[in-house]
Structure 1
């Protein structure tokens, strides 16, 4: 049957003279929507008081914070798993079908979760927002990135920064939207949560449709005017391609897996500790009566960190086009180690301004790590199946999304169990995170060019030698 569907890849190929700068808005439409996942915490207290109707005095039948925390964990795990599973499918069918699947899953996840809230069935919420919505997160996360890299071979860092910046900024839209909707619906449903989920599911579905029907892929062989492949003269930037199945057999893939996992786990250390750390370290007893950091000021600090998380995604990934991907990650890890080790000292000495500055820089590099990794993959493995390879690498994010909170909470609780309070209670957390960055730094140092035996066959060269699963390559 001829491919005539509006969703087919052939219907998304851009014609001659198409302006590639029309593609980033389509990518942003997807990432700004699915980035709402970072704002899920605004639902925790309302969802924990559906029976009692009082967030300060929950009923025995209300969902506990532990039960609600599982929702986000499932979503992040499914993000990585679905990106890994559906990556090759995305490369085959094109971004339009993939982005539509993402929109249906992400929007549909809200609708299923709303039924779970209405029936007070936590398993339906797990299935809806966590499982179905998590699949939408994974497919939606990789589909615009893969397309943008193909449109911007001369500036892959800028390209990935534009898309992934949207994911970091999604919470800045999703959080106030959710709060406003729950306030509007509070008289019609318990805490206004169920109708808020329905409304947000439909709004995000429609918003993502803009990206679905405006996305375009470049024609075969297209390149920007004046573009010379490998113009940066870096040994790490290949003009060949490696398919996803061979990519995971290379040591380079697993070194970058460690790089991403360590960067994300350490960043979660700041995200998990930010609000309580700044309040505990800069309390009235430490700063003087009436001069301590209040809960409202701590919330503003968390918002500031989110802003730097967003801005860092574009700034650092764009800078990597000039600096190179490997040197950029050396900055992330080298500067990060110093700052993580310094933060407890700044907290202990009540240096509030320097504490805030150091934390903001850390979060900018946390976001930058997400945005730079697709360009790093493109340098090493080419563009042929970079979306599929990126999807498989995101299992590192899933791992960090579970490992990070567990590690941080365990370390923090063990300190408090020893009656260690204030800034001192967080020292072990930050020193451990600095140690993880040392592991990431070593992994990044070991990254070299991919051996030619892994390169895909092209029309003008013979097939590469068979690749053994455990081959030792440089």
Structure 2
């Protein structure tokens, strides 16, 4: 197993750094399947009845709320494992980390398949939730850290390529899962058990390909002809390194924590309720016509948002290489706040094109925030511990995954309980989201270069220094 060690994955002379993005994509496209996990929710809640058309399941069937815990647990462990194992990722290198991610994420499918066969929900949660979630966290941060080291001249472009894959994982995972369940519907589990086994095996092959292809640059390597710019971007790009424990004590870390938390909170709640929202705000009754948004059209809207979520990760992170990370987030928060304020107006106007366009831009910036934050961290803290720092910062994602949907659903339900029509129940939430983005704008405005007292003693310190 020494083949997996960092020292055995150092690139030799002439090795092309452009082989790293495909290795990262092989992992991120696989673990990005979690965004498409909802295709399993209804079949999992009908395993005993075996009737997907029934309004409710049979006695003993799991509820949709219980099945929904799988996704929530997976996202929680994504953030938690990223924070806990960040130092280990930096010390051991991407190959061992991606290998561990493959075993955990894909092994989780095999455990979940056993849970489906025996109808034990705790086994499904253990497999796809706990094991899969830890695999998600390890697989998410390890290639990102490596890409930043290989592309110091274009860190936004590099991380955008990988994290775009995570956002697009559902575009592969959802139709694949649906097609496999339809093919094996007669296996006694509505095809879910067999689908889990096949998807686990397929993703394992892809993730192992990425793990064995990945390389780390040799000590002192830099792109040909590239020279680090001193005081680049007005001093916002540092040529010094900060170790993860020191970074955790800086105001910059917590300001960026707030930046990511607020950007994700504003987007993730909408992403989870987009289908219901567009149907309620543009129903036949609201529009007074027979041209209201149908369930099929709403599904197309969700798919469109997913495309913009994915494309925004590449577009905005690449843009940040040209205009800087701080200005990019200024655009996210300023434009996002304006659009959230205008969304209720679009609804009252009955303008579906403006409504759709507004949310497409919002979701592109939601995805762009994920892809730009690793490069922002690299600018602030250097490259030596950027993976570990990124891992800790992802706790903001875990928190936002709880706050965003709770905020949106809670206010909507209270408004409807108070007699507010469903089409108007989202207005208050949209204004709150706009206010949150204003707070995010202020937090980003306050980010300054890291003080010299937090710098590591030597810019060339080894990753093992993170344990000092």
TM-score by length of 2: 0.96
**1:32 equivalent in alignment to 2:11:** no
Shift of residue 145 of structure 1?
Answer: 0.1
When the two structures are aligned, how many residues end up with a matched partner?
458
Q: Which residue of 2 aligns with 1:281?
A: 281
Q: 1:12: how far off?
A: 1.0
Shift of 1:88: 0.7
Contact 1:344/1:423, CA 8 A, preserved across alignment: no
> Would the aligned equivalents of 1:313 and 1:368 in 2 still touch at CA under 8 Å?
yes
1:459 to 1:170, Cα distance in 2 relative to 1, 3 A? closer
Quote the residue 1:358 is aligned against: 358
Name which of structure 1's ranges 421-430 and 171-180 shifts more when overlaid on structure 2: 421-430
- Superposition deviation, residue 385 in structure 1: 0.6
**Residues 130-189 of structure 1: CA deviation (Å, up to 9, x unaligned):** 101000000000000000000000001001100100000000000000000101111112
**Pairing 1:11-410 to 2, within 5 Å after superposition:** 11-55=8-52, 56=54, 57-230=56-229, 232-410=232-410
**1:420 paired to 2:420:** yes
Distance of 1:113 and 1:306 partners within structure 2: 26
Q: Contact 1:242 / 1:454 at 8 angstroms: preserved in 2?
A: yes
| Partner Cα distance (1:439, 1:130) in 2 | 32
CA drift at 1:233: 4.2
Distance 2:384 2:447 in 1: 21
Structure 1 residues 365, 458: closer, same or farther in 2, change over 3 A?
Answer: same
Q: Is the 8 A contact 2:416 2:422 kept in 1?
A: no
Alpha-carbon distance in 1 for matches of 2:71, 2:459: 46
Shift of 1:119: 1.1
Spell out structure 1 runs of 4+ moving beyond 2 A. Answer: 230-234, 285-290
Task: Give the whole-Å Cα distance in 1 for the aligned partners of 2:247 and 2:328.
Answer: 22
Distance between the aligned counterparts of 2:10 and 2:131, measured in 1?
A: 29
Q: Secondary structure at the match of 1:234?
A: helix
Q: Per-residue displacement from partner, 1:7-41 (whole Å, max 9, x unpaired)?
A: 11111111112211111000000000000000011
Alignment gaps of 5+ in structure 1: 462-474
CA separation in 1, counterparts of 2:187 and 2:117? Answer: 12
Tell me if structure 1 keeps the 8 A contact 2:241–2:459: no
Following superposition, the deviation at residue 190 of structure 1 comes to 2.1
Deviation at 1:419?
A: 2.1
SS across alignment from 2:239: coil
Question: Once the 2 structures are TM-superposed, how far is the Cα of residue 217 of structure 1 from its aligned partner?
Answer: 0.8
3-state SS, counterpart of residue 375 of structure 1: helix
Q: What's the CA shift for 1:459?
A: 7.8
| Aligned residue in 2 for 1:464 | none
- Deviation of 1:328 after TM superposition, in Å, equals 0.4
Superposed CA deviations along residues 230-255 of structure 1, whole A, max 9, x for unmatched, are 36343111101001111100010011
1:50-89 deviations in Å (ceiling 9; x for gaps) = 1111232311311111111111111001001101111111
Tell me, yes or no, if the aligned pair for 1:269 and 1:408 is still in contact at 8 Å: yes
CA RMSD of aligned residues (A): 1.3
Measure how far apart 1:269 and its partner are. 2.5
Q: Which whole-Å CA distance do the structure 2 matches of 1:239 and 1:79 have between them? A: 30
**Distance in 1 of aligned mates of 2:91 and 2:254:** 24
TM-score where L is the length of structure 1: 0.95
Q: Distance in 2 between matches of 1:455 and 1:321?
A: 24
Q: Which digits, 9 at most, give the CA deviation of each residue in 1:212-243, with x for residues without a partner?
A: 11001111000011212136343111101001
CA contact (8 A) 1:36 1:171 kept: yes
- Structure 2 CA distance for partners of 1:95 and 1:224, relative to 1, 3 Å: same
The CA distance in 1 between the partners of 2:41 and 2:233, in whole Å, is 50
Residue 28 to residue 459, structure 1, CA distance change in 2 (3 Å)? closer
Does 430-439 or 71-80 show the bigger shift?
430-439
> Partner residue of 1:436?
436
SS at match of 1:190: coil
Query: Secondary structure of the equivalent of 1:415?
Result: helix
